[in-house]
Structures are given as C-alpha cells and as structure tokens.
C-alpha cells in the first residue's frame, strides 16, 4: 500500500491541465471533463455549457473507481484502469492518470466511445507527465497566519449553527 | 495530506466519521446538513440500503470560505459501520486528514465499539498512514440515553491516544458542532 502523501497543484500544472482538457474536449467531442484526486476532491474542470454538481460527482466517481479496483483484486486481475457507464443520453468515462489523480469525461450521442477512448488515452499520457514531476515533492505547509485565520472562520461558521 | 491547489487558490480537507453500526455517524452529518448555513454546504449524498443503513458512505461538503485568499473546504464522509463492510471502509479512508470516532455510549454496545476502534487502527496502519499527521477526536454519542458508560470509563477503554473527547447526542445536536470544530481546527494545525 502506498504511503500517504499530499497533492499540491501549482500554477504551471493547472495551466497545462486546463489547456489539455480544453483540447481533449474539442477533439473528442465530449461535454464535460474533470480532473479529480483519488480521494474524491476536484482539481479542475473543462465545460462550456454542461455543469454537473462537481463536488458530489468527484466524490462518487473516486469512490466508484476505488471500488472497481478492489473488484479487480478480488477477481485476480491486476487492475481495471478505467470505469465506463453507458446511459441513454450521456456516458461517463473515468480513467486513472496517476496514483493520486483521475480523469472524468462525459459525452453524449454526438461522438463515439472509441474516439473518446483513443484521445483520452493520449491525453492521459501527457497528464501523467505533468503530475509525476511533482507528486514526489513534499507538501508545503500552510503558514501560521492561515491557521489562526482559519480557526476564526471555523468559530464563525459553527457559532450560529 | 489535503489537496492544495495553489493555482486555483483552493484547499480541501477530508474528514471521516468512523464507528460501529448505528452509533450515529449519519445522524451527525444529517444534523450538520440541517443546521448549518445553507450557503456553506453542498449537497448531502447518501449511499444507503432500503432500510436507510449506510451501504457505502454519506458525503457532505462544507465551505469555510476564503481564508488568506484560499477557498477552504471540508469534505465530510461517514463509513458503513457494520463489520462486514470493511472493504468499503478502507476505500473511504483513502486520503483522510481527520477522523471523528463516534462511540456508542450504551453499555450493550461495548464490544462493537472496541471492535470498530481496533478496526480503524488496523485500516489506517494498513494504508501506511502517518498517524501523527492525522487529526483525531472521539465523540461519546447517545449521552441522552440511560444505561450508558460514564465518559471517564469510555475514555479509559477507547482513548489510548489521549485525543480530545466530546460527549454528545447527535439526535438532539448536543456536541455535534463542537466535535466538528475541534477536528477541523486540528486538520489545519496538522498542515501548518
């Protein structure tokens, strides 16, 4: 089991990811793309019109993907590297990018699953390089100012509850 | 460790409610969902059986707002408490930053509490967690009922880490936000 480590996204990574997701969206004909962490937190999205509830989507997709990996182990398969759900109007495709990052793609009838898979696989290879450079770095700590400000915000948020 | 997105100025922490079946984990989250400022919460997602027992998890995102320019969020999860759902519990624990162990104070639930507590540490060690970097709070739930252990006795039985303890009744809301407040401050302190 891998050691637990943080995931920190810097400006350069986010710019590269946003550019790549936008290109992938255009060439694959997909409607919505999101990069999320394997612990269920959204990193960035690409969409023009369709905006699902991203926090819930990230949480459910990450959990579903994690469950799929466990299914693979139970079936003595090394790993299932993607998750695919086919709907009447919309399809969901989840692929592992790195140990800590997943790529969600949704697409409708206007494109083909083979096309989405082909371009997604190419994009994953590029995305992997963007993240693998930095995943081994130590997570920088937030400063003491952040801690005291957050403490006051927590008191405020929960005081009227 | 949390997901820190410096580029998007966001920081996300994952907090998990752990404990035996029917100890009140989902009741905690439902109370928070009902009582917190609606602007500060997202949608409550529950994956439950037809009998409303948690099958996989409940999920509630809370937004603290901008702190020093960083949009700060806490993602609250529960695990399924019944012993045979351990595979699901392990998945929910992935990437956790803080844990609230909800103990059922009823005398009749002692064995289940101890089993769940040991199971938690087994799972954390199994996924290679650095326990010193995790926030951890014990909530002694169901203090409104009779035939319960004293807080002192439960503390001696379950609290080998000398962690903060909060007496609570998730049904009435007593202690629910106090527990959450402590763990939220702890997770931030652990990354500062």
Are B11 and A142 a contacting pair at CB < 8 A?
A: yes
Q: Delineate the domains of chain A, giving CATH numbers in brackets.
A: 11-159 (3.30.450.30)
- A3 and B36 in contact by Cβ < 8 A? no
Q: Which of B:48-107 have CB within 8 Å of A?
A: 56-57, 59, 61-62, 64-65, 67-68, 70, 72-73, 75, 77, 87-88, 91-92, 94-96
Are B14 and B183 in contact by the 8 Å Cβ rule? The answer is no
* Nearest residue of B to residue A45, measured between CA atoms: B8
A58 has a pLDDT exceeding 80 = yes
DSSP 8-class letter at B136: E
The gap from C-alpha B103 to its chain's centroid, in whole angstroms, comes to 11
Is pLDDT above 80 for A139?
A: no
In this prediction, residue A26 carries a pLDDT of 96
Residue B49's pLDDT is what? Answer: 85
pLDDT of residue A1: 33
Q: How far is CA A2 from the centre of its chain?
A: 19
Residues in chain A: 161
**pLDDT truncated to tens, each residue of chain B (192 aa)?**
789 999 899 999 999 999 999 999 999 999 999 999 999 999 999 998 878 888 889 999 999 999 999 999 999 999 999 988 999 999 999 999 999 999 999 999 999 999 999 999 999 999 998 778 899 999 999 999 999 999 999 999 999 999 999 999 999 999 999 999 999 999 999 877
CA distance B109 to A105: 45
Q: By the CB < 8 Å criterion, does A143 face chain B?
A: yes
Report pLDDT digits (tens) over B1-53: 789 999 899 999 999 999 999 999 999 999 999 999 999 999 999 998 878 88
CA atoms of B148 and B124, how far apart (whole Å)? 28
Q: A99-119: per-residue pLDDT in tens?
A: 999 999 999 999 999 999 999
DSSP-assigned letters across all residues of B77-127: EE---SGGGHHHHHHHHTT--EEEEEEE-BGGGHHHHHHHHHHHHHHHHHT
Is residue A126 within 8 angstroms of chain B, CB to CB?
no
Q: Which domains does chain B have, with CATH numbers?
A: 3-191 (3.40.50.300)
Cα–Cα distance between B61 and A55 in angstroms, integer? 7
Residues of chain A with C-beta less than 8 angstroms from the C-beta of B85: none
Assign residue A76 a region: left if phi > 0, alpha if psi is -120 to 50, beta otherwise?
left
pLDDT band per the 50, 70, 90 thresholds, residue A4: very low
A13 part of contact set with chain B, CB < 8 Å:
yes
Question: Residue B8 is nearest to which of A14, A39, A140, comparing CB atoms?
Answer: A14
């Amino acid at each position: 089991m891998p050691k637990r480590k943080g995931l920190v996204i810097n400006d350069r990574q986010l710019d590269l990811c946003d550019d790549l997701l936008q290109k992938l969206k255009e060439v694959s004909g997909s409607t919505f793309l999101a990069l999320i962490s394997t612990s269920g937190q959204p990193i960035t999205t690409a969409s023009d019109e369709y905006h699902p509830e991203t926090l819930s989507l990230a949480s459910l997709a990450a959990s579903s993907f994690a469950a799929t990996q466990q299914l693979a182990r139970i079936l003595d398969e090394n790993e299932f590297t993607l998750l695919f759900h086919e709907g009447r109007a919309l399809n969901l495709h989840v692929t592992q990018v790195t140990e800590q990052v997943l790529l969600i793609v949704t697409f409708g009838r206007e494109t083909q699953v083979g096309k989405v898979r082909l371009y997604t696989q190419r994009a994953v290879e590029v995305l992997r390089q963007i993240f693998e450079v930095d995943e081994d770095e130590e997570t920088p700590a937030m400063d003491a100012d952040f801690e005291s400000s957050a403490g006051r915000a927590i008191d405020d948020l929960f005081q009227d509850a | 460790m949390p997901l820190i997105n410096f580029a998007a100025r966001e920081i996300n922490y994952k907090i998990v409610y752990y404990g035996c079946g029917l100890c009140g984990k989902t009741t905690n989250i439902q109370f928070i969902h009902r009582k917190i400022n609606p602007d500060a919460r997202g949608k409550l997602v529950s994956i439950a059986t037809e009998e409303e027992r948690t099958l996989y998890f409940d999920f509630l995102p809370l937004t603290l707002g901008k702190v020093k320019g960083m949009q700060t969020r806490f993602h609250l999860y529960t695990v399924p408490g019944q012993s045979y759902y351990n595979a699901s519990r392990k998945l929910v624990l992935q990437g956790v930053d803080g844990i609230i162990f909800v103990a059922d104070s009823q005398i009749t639930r002692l064995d289940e509490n101890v089993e769940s507590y040991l199971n938690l540490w087994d799972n954390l060690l199994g996924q290679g967690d650095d326990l010193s970097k995790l926030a951890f709070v014990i909530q002694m739930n169901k203090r409104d009922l009779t035939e319960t252990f004293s807080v002192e006795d439960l503390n001696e039985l379950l609290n080998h880490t000398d962690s903060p303890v909060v007496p609570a009744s998730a049904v009435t809301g007593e202690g629910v936000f106090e527990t959450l407040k402590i763990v939220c401050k702890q997770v931030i302190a652990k990354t500062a």
